[in-house]
Structure formats: C-alpha cells, structure tokens
Amino acid sequence: MQNESVIRRRDLLALIGTVAGSSAMYHAMTSLGFASESAYKGPLKLAGDVKGASVLVLGAGLAGMTAALELRKAGYKVQILEFNSRAGGRNWSIRGGDSFVELGGFRQTSQFEQGLYLNPGPWRIPYHHRALLDYCRRLNVTLEPFIQLNHNAYLHATRAFGGKPQRFRSIKADFQGGVSELLAKVTQQGRLDETVGKEDQEILLQSLRDWGALDRDYKYNANLVSAEFRGYARDPGGGLMGDPLPSEPIPLQELLRSRMWRYLQTFARYDFQTTMFQPVGGMDMIGKAFAREVGDLIRYGAKVTQIQQNGSGVTVSYVDTASPSTVQQATADWCICTIPLPILSQLPVDVSAPMKSAIDSVPYAASVKIGLQFKRRFWEEDDAIYGGISYTDLPIRQIAYPNYGFNRGGRGILLGAYMYGGANSFEFTAMTPAERVASAVEFGAAIHPQYRNEFENGVAVAWHRVPFTLGCAGEWTEATRAQHYRNLCQIDGRIVLAGEHASQLPAWQEGAILSALDVISRLHERVVKT
C-alpha cells in the first residue's frame, strides 16, 4: 500500500466491484454511507391465507407488540403474555407517584413533579431508525428533537484544567485549530510534497485556515475569528456596551493531555448524528400507542415458566404473578418469544441444542440511569445549557439535560448518571437506590456546584436489578455473533425469538422492531406455503 493516499473513494468502489463482485461492492457502499440507509422496507404486507393459524407472543415490549399488531392485521389469532402489569417493556418512563420495586426488594416511589419524567431505558431515536419512526407516525406518537450535540454543554476531566469543566465548543474549536495549525506548518515546510501535489497543497492550506479558524499566518490564536467558534471573553453587545473580546485558546499540548478530544467523535457517530428524536411526554408514549392497538390481546401479570412444542403446536405454562401457585397454560400453532435471554435461558424450553446454546451465550450489559429533580433549571438559568449532554470521566459518565420545557421557570429533571458497560455500571448496580442517587449528586456537583442547594429527589434504575429483564440489553461480541447469531434467529420448529437481542442493533428499539418484522415475514411465508 504505497499510494493509498491518492486512491479516491469511487476508484476504491470500482476496484472492490471488479475484484469481489457486486455484493461486496454493495456492502462497501453501505459502509461508506451510500446505498440504502435502513433495513426497513416500509409497512409490512402479509398477503395470503393464514388458514386460521394462531400465534402466542411472549412479552409485550416493542418487538412483541409489533408482531401482534401486524399478525392480527394479517388474520392470525394472537395472544400476548406479559410479566408486567403494563405494556412496553424497556420502553418505559417514570413519573411522579410511580412506584418501582427492584430485585432485592428495594422500593422507589418517584416524587417527580407532574409533567417531569425519566426515561430509564431508551431515550433517543436516530433519524435512520425508519421502522420505529414509521410506527410513531402511524400510531400518532408526536416527536420532538432530542438534543444530542450541544456546543455549550460541558466536557469534564478530573485531572485536567484543575477539574474545571470546559465548554464543548471551546474544546472542539481548539482541537481543530491546533491540529490545523500543525498540519499547515508541515505543509508549508514542504514535508507533504511527496504525497500532495503543489496545487492541492494550496487548497489544503485554504481548508485548514477555514476549518481550523487560523489567522493570515496559519496560526491558531486568540482573535475574533477563533472567537466565532470557541466563544468570546466578552460577547458582542448593543450600543456602547463595549467591544467583543476574544477568548484565549487552550494550547494543543494541554488539550492532548486532557484527553477531552475523545468525546468529540461521539457526536459524529452514525447512531448519534443529528437529527435525533424523542416522543413528547416520555418514551413510553410509544409503548402506550402500541398498547392502544393490541392491548386487548395482552394477558398481564403472566410469568412464563415453561415453553413446550411438538409437531402440531406450542404449549406455554405460566403463573399469575399475584397467585403463583396455580400453573396455567396457553396454546397456539406458533410462538414468538421476546423474553430477554437472561430469563429465557433459565426456563425449560423445547428448542434445538444450537438454539439453546445461543440462548445461554449472550450476557446482558450492565447499565444504570439516575434521574435527579432540582428546584430550578440552573443549567439553563446559570449555564445557558439547553438540552444535550455533558461528558465526564467521573463514574456518572454523563449528565443529560431535558429536551423539553426549555427556558421555563421552576423545577427540572436531569439525567444525573448514565453508565453502559464497564466497571462503574456494576458498582452502581451493587448499591442501594438511595446510595446511587446520593453518589450521582455528589459526583455531579463537581460539574454543577448548584447541585448542593437545588437537589430535591431522585430515582435510580440499575438494569440488572430490573425484574422483567435481569440486564439492559444483549451484549454480543464478534465471536458470539459468528457462533450463535444465526442459530438464535432461526425458526426452531414452532418457536422463534424476537427482540433487540435478535438484531444487529442491540439495545435499540429499532432492533426490536426490525427483528419482529423479520420474524413474522419468515413465519408468515411458512404458514402460507404449507
């Protein structure tokens, strides 16, 4: 690879097409951002005679309810068994007065003010999750923007800048400026002559000045050009308020050592690019909208204890969570099981050895979310942070600001901690809910000292202690996917699994829905053809 720098993307694609065939080229195009963006092909059309077939769906989360909605529409007889006394599963919002008992018996009753909520599970929807967006549209779920990137939110590192949080916009501008200055320097020294032609070097310098906010001499300095990106020491005003003053950039060396650059790319990832959405009023508006469609099919408070099948159908044993001594049974021709794998792996299930092995081999990620209510929206009033996320290397990892009720007086709720995977997720899970909340307040005060005076109450959800999942979401590795994924997704006799764990988008609601759509398409094909 001597000349890799001169190869253009189109040439690369042509080369891949020639050497490896069109499917490889399609794959490459997809990974380079061309071609289809979504696996979703629009509303499902299940044509043909279903011959009175019945389907038992286990779990009334988004996967289960998507399956039920579409199957009933196609003429199937559908029944859903749900462990909880509500629909939605991990699609869940906690509001004032809501009570929740986690494993171990720790009860929390939310004291959130009316109108405020915490989404302990999914909380944002990428623009390319077309299936979920389509269901929101069809089921009349109103969306609003989810602010993922806020240039005025903070980046915080315990051992950098004396622990003082920095504005995202300053770090971003200074990193771009510092790197641009460096690259401009080596360009001008002729050190790129062998890889970049003279004419292109001129364009490169122009682009670096533009992208890095460099001055006439290709230096990144405190001036009103860099201030337009990193912010001012004194903002432009009116009349005789005084001239705007530039702010002082952070030297590149200090910025590099702060490690704060590692947060910059978070916002550029496909999953987190703007525009993102959230339902108005809480994520559970989606679960509730589905339940309006299929709620009459749901048997609540049903804890599944065994799943059996034979050549003619499935029999599922379950107990009512209120009177667990009596075992009841539900039967159907087919079973779509969306029960999370930590639970399903413990049940006696009649499936083939490869599927059983797959069910046993996918651990669930540890994750914790903590909602904190404050007397006033100081992040807006004092810090001018309207929505978005601050990142920190403290165990709380993130502070996310509400993306609703902007610029309004009164109380507000912050997401005071969000860990996903890693040691801190387990450490917070091992605490009592009260301890988690107290720690989130303690840590968060390092970024927002207002915490100490304004904090009122909080709710902490640690997903490994959630009785209906025993974990947050399927945690696949390259190795487990290679070994088990196809086995997990097969139709095994009359049983098939669906849910985010049976998708390539683990932990996303889109994965749950796409998994369900894929499963019912395959199942329907089998039913119609036999």
Of residues 480 through 499, those in contact with other proteins by CB under 8 A are none
Q: Does 424 bind other proteins (CB under 8 A)?
A: yes
Q: Does 431 bind other proteins (CB under 8 A)?
A: yes
Q: Which stretch binds other proteins (CB under 8 A): 44-52, 180-188, 246-254, 356-364?
A: 356-364
Rounded to whole angstroms, the Cα distance separating 56 from 51 reads 16
Q: Does 173 bind other proteins (CB under 8 A)?
A: no
Rounded to whole angstroms, the Cα distance separating 130 from 150 reads 24
- Opening angle at CA 254, ends 202 and 235, nearest 5: 75
Nearer to other proteins, 325 or 407 (CB): 325
Structure tokens at 170: 């300053």
Interface with other proteins (CB under 8 A), residue from 118, 227, 260, 343: 343
Pairing of strands 367-374, 412-420: antiparallel
Of residues 48 through 77, those in contact with other proteins by CB under 8 A are none
Q: Does 464 bind other proteins (CB under 8 A)?
A: yes
Nearer to other proteins, 161 or 426 (CB): 426
Q: Does 231 bind other proteins (CB under 8 A)?
A: no
Rounded to whole angstroms, the Cα distance separating 256 from 134 reads 43
Nearer to other proteins, 342 or 405 (CB): 342
Contact 80, 59 (CB under 8 A): yes
Q: Does 455 bind other proteins (CB under 8 A)?
A: yes
Q: Does 319 bind other proteins (CB under 8 A)?
A: no
Rounded to whole angstroms, the Cα distance separating 267 from 348 reads 43
Taking alpha carbons only, the member of 123, 160, 231, 156 closest to residue 448 is 156
Rounded to whole angstroms, the Cα distance separating 57 from 332 reads 9
The minimum distance between CB 459 and other proteins, in angstroms, equals 7
Q: Does 83 bind other proteins (CB under 8 A)?
A: yes
Binding string, 381-410, against other proteins, x = CB under 8 A? ------------xxx---------------
Interface with other proteins (CB under 8 A), residue from 475, 492, 500, 510: 475
The minimum distance between CB 1 and other proteins, in angstroms, equals 32
Q: Does 210 bind other proteins (CB under 8 A)?
A: no
Residue whose tokens read 């039913």: 527
DSSP 8-state assignment for residue 270: G
Q: Does 186 bind other proteins (CB under 8 A)?
A: no
- The β-bridge partners of 268 are none
Rounded to whole angstroms, the Cα distance separating 76 from 95 reads 36
Pairing of strands 298-299, 77-81: parallel
Q: Does 233 bind other proteins (CB under 8 A)?
A: no
Q: Does 468 bind other proteins (CB under 8 A)?
A: yes
Q: Does 43 bind other proteins (CB under 8 A)?
A: no
| Number of helical H runs and strand E runs in the chain | 17, 24
The minimum distance between CB 317 and other proteins, in angstroms, equals 14
By the 10 Å C-beta count (0-12 exposed, 13-18 middle, 19+ buried), 76 is classed as buried
Q: Which stretch binds other proteins (CB under 8 A): 118-126, 228-236, 339-347, 374-382?
A: 339-347
Q: Cα separations (Å) of 429 from 106, 123, 462, 463, 468?
A: 12, 20, 5, 8, 16
The minimum distance between CB 469 and other proteins, in angstroms, equals 8
Contact 304, 316 (CB under 8 A): yes
Q: Which stretch binds other proteins (CB under 8 A): 37-45, 190-198, 275-283, 337-345?
A: 337-345
Rounded to whole angstroms, the Cα distance separating 474 from 370 reads 21
Interface with other proteins (CB under 8 A), residue from 93, 226, 390, 439: 439
Rounded to whole angstroms, the Cα distance separating 480 from 500 reads 15
- The β-bridge partners of 414 are 372
Residue whose tokens read 């109380």: 411
Q: Which stretch binds other proteins (CB under 8 A): 33-41, 254-262, 293-301, 452-460?
A: 452-460
Q: Does 436 bind other proteins (CB under 8 A)?
A: yes
Nearer to other proteins, 389 or 394 (CB): 394
Of residues 357 through 376, those in contact with other proteins by CB under 8 A are 360-361, 363-366
Q: Which stretch binds other proteins (CB under 8 A): 37-45, 270-278, 407-415, 440-448?
A: 440-448
Rounded to whole angstroms, the Cα distance separating 372 from 399 reads 10
Contact 60, 286 (CB under 8 A): no
Nearer to other proteins, 217 or 456 (CB): 456
Q: Does 355 bind other proteins (CB under 8 A)?
A: no
Rounded to whole angstroms, the Cα distance separating 341 from 363 reads 8
Residues that bind other proteins (CB under 8 A): 83, 103-111, 158, 303-304, 339-343, 345-347, 360-361, 363-366, 393-395, 421-424, 426-427, 429-439, 441-443, 455-460, 462, 464-471, 475
